[in-house]
Structure 1
């Protein structure tokens, strides 16, 4: 931790839970969720984050944050620091737990309350969605191209794609995303973030207000975060030339197979010459 830092880094486990994961600060989480999900949550209850399978042999999951609103709707809020294999599969698997826990014994009509998974990503997917800031996913009727079931929602926030400056902030959603991405770099509260909810957010995040045990926990959490980032950056640099071409070709092949984008659009997405993508399509590479 450098002496210049004034506020916690919300991408650390400690920082994220300090900001959003405690009963006194649930109004911050409600404000954030209301803005990014376009809801009107008036009350949240934190629920246990560790969930066991049906038997001792089944895999357990541990959510970063898990809560329920006044209507019984469930919210999984996850912070993901690094890209991992089958992350989308993992999201779906996690969502099955708040679905299954709604089952009632005896006579039950299977009516479910909505389940929302919000994933705040410190990376971007390596597919056609990698340039999107927000990805909102529901079950869709492929033929009619409309939502088939609106009670299961996955919202992915690819934070590297949030690039607005303070002067460009317009909505409360903009301001929340700006705070998440830049909080640990700030020395003062930005003029655009004067809403009451941000007064509390900045007070909560101030490093000088942490007690000794919190400071130790934060420094440990920050060290882990930096170690992960440094390892990823090193691996990326070392494998850049060796693996980049093969990875790019595989990505283009998948995009072509989906058939949703033109060759020109794929070339633009992958930042590759049009001729290269055409050769991949013609299996000349």
Structure 2
């Protein structure tokens, strides 16, 4: 059995970065990711599920959604499989968070910044940035000068991080290395240099999970493996239309399986890409 949990399953990712008891990990990671720009001392978790204003609109379920002590909104997303419109989805998430800052009545349009940080844990394809880290800002096309700091995207393509342990020279390098290799590690590297990794080791230690937590973790790993198998099967079938149908059928099969384990509907929706309404129909 692996010493540490796989950080890229839905449940594990939220355990490490999306819980009140582990928010010190999130704060330290964000400070290294935004080194020289921001120094966050605290975050407040917001509701991960954003309901639509009307029945015709789609709701949103975030992986991690928080607000910093200085008012910035930060969305952290983790994606394990390629998706045709993943970049568009991140734009939609940011735009929705900006629009929702509007208040009724007289308003001067003052906005607080929105950051979207995306872990892309899948092989490079035509929909993926071609380097490990891509930072996107609203800037002048010719000069590159930042025009507004109100919206920011950071894409981290995990397979493109190639550094070995001895090549990790920055604090952020150490973070990415540990996250990428965590499931195969026997001891968490860099603990001597950075005490936060001792804390990460405690949170991610599979031997400390309760029976209920172990079941949730196993469930989330099953979702991750099933989603990958569905995607690969549809990919091998070739035709795009057939691929879409195959993936849709596979997602529904996964959802039905998870319902038998009493998995919360919002977790199933986030894991499979099905809407909450579609899952409720399957449940019936």
TM-score, normalised with respect to structure 2:
0.78
Whole-Å separation in 2 of the counterparts to 1:128 and 1:84: 8
Alignment-derived partner of residue 15 in structure 2:
18
C-alpha distance in 2, partners of 1:69/1:185?
A: 33
* Cα separation, 2, equivalents of 1:49 and 1:128: 26
Q: State the match for 2:68 in structure 1.
A: 69
- 1:41-60 → structure 2 map (5 Å cutoff): 41-60=40-59
The 8 Å contact of residues 117 and 154 in structure 1, kept in 2 or not, is answered as: yes
SS in 2 for 1:28: helix
CA distance in 2, matches of 1:193, 1:87: 37
User: Alignment partner of 2:77: what SS?
Assistant: strand
1:112 to 2:111 alignment: yes
How far the C-alpha of 1:233 sits from its partner, in A, is 4.2
Rounded to whole Å, the distance in 1 between the matches of 2:192 and 2:80 is 25
Match of 1:36 in 2: 33
1:157-191 alpha-carbon deviations (Å, 9 max, x no partner): 00000111111111110011011101011011225
How does 1:1-285 map onto structure 2 within 5 Å? 3=1, 5-38=2-35, 39-127=38-126, 130-191=129-190, 194-236=193-235, 239=238
Q: Are 1:166 and 1:192, in contact at CA under 8 Å, matched by a contact in 2?
A: no
Whole-angstrom CA distance in 2 between matches of 1:19 and 1:152: 25
- 1:51 touches 1:97 (CA, 8 Å); kept in 2? no
Deviation string 1:116-161 (CA, Å, 9 cap, x unpaired) is: 0000011255349643000110122223332222210011000000
Q: 1:54-95 deviations in whole A, cap 9, x for unaligned?
A: 323211111011000011100000001111111111111111
Alpha-carbon spacing, 1:44–1:135, altered in 2? closer, same or farther (3 Å) = same
State how far apart, in whole Å, the 2-side matches of 1:201 and 1:192 are: 9
| Bigger radius of gyration | 1
Stretches of structure 1 lacking an aligned partner (at least 5 in a row): 244-285
Q: Secondary structure of 1:56's match?
A: coil
State the SS of the aligned residue for 1:164.
Answer: coil
Distance across 2 between alignment mates of 1:80 and 1:94: 14
Tell me, yes or no, if the aligned pair for 2:49 and 2:59 is still in contact at 8 Å.
Answer: yes
3-state DSSP of counterpart to 1:110? coil
Q: State the TM-score, normalizing by the size of structure 1.
A: 0.78
CA offsets, 1:196-247, max 9 Å, x none? 11111000000110001100010011111122233444555665xx99xxxx
Aligned pair count reads 238
> Structure 2: how far apart are the matches of 1:194 and 1:185?
21
Contact 1:141 1:148 in 2 (8 A): yes
Alignment correspondent of 1:249 = none
Q: Which runs of 4+ in 1 moved over 6 A?
A: none
Map of 2:257 onto structure 1:
none
From the superposition, tell whether residues 191 and 58 of structure 1 become closer, same or farther in structure 2 (CA, over 3 Å).
closer
Cα distance in structure 2, aligned partners of 1:14 and 1:132: 27
Change (3 A) 1:54 1:152: same
Deviates more, 1:70-79 or 1:121-130: 121-130
Distance 1:190 1:100 in 2: 42
